[in-house]
A and B are shown apart, each in its own frame.
Chain A
Amino acid sequence: MFLQPASYRRRRRRDAARFLPVLGLFLILLPVLWAPQDTPRRDTAPDGIYLFGVWGLLIGAALMISRALAVPGEDDDPDPDSDPGADQDLRS
């Protein structure tokens, strides 16, 4: 099966842009699992550092993805090359 490398990479960059918020949501909801309200440890400082760390990571990743998506010479729309079925479920 023949793949066009350039357009293949472009589609994967778009996928990365779609996955990023899901990853962010997962990492931010993680503290619910270790339940700081139930542990005797003093959690505000370490959890704060963790959350700001996740935040910084998301900003950095978003910066890289936004740069990668804005490669000149690429027309960002329409999406004719998006994978079939990628977001079909969202359309009627």
Chain B
Amino acid sequence: MADDRRTHRSHVSYIDKSRGYYGAQGYPQAYQWAYHQEVPFAALEKPLAESRIGLVTTSFFERKVAVAGGGTKEPYAARCDDALGGLYNKDLFWDKDNTHTDDLDTYLPINRLREFAARGRIGSLADRFYGVPTDYSHRRTSRRDAPQILEFARQDELDAVVLVPL
């Protein structure tokens, strides 16, 4: 096969893969992924070098055990300094056979953004970062989690947000 030709797209479709994977486990109903035709867009209102940037992760400080009727995870805000030792994410959906998450900056680039702040590329990285559950329920994400993250962002007077789903 020529290296510059393919019969399928090269990047992984997780929507296709997960449908096949859970279907093979006998779950007849495929997960309904979020889909939107319209996409909102907000422009940066001040120069990046004067902007306070926030970070959002899907990792948590510790394992949270699910209970009947829903998870125990709720959105949170915490000090970036407290995350430098790493966060817990073994319960999340990622490729544990091919990589690891022992290096915080591979999924929550606090140190890299502080370096950009030190160089003047951004105004600052906020003192707090935020965590949001990867919830099966779109409703909980949209009606509970997203407004909470917005409230945190307003409290911290953020100008822009970098979201890094694992």
Asked if A and B bind, the verdict is: no
Chain B residues engaging chain A, CB cutoff 8 angstroms: none
Chain A residues engaging chain B, CB cutoff 8 angstroms: none
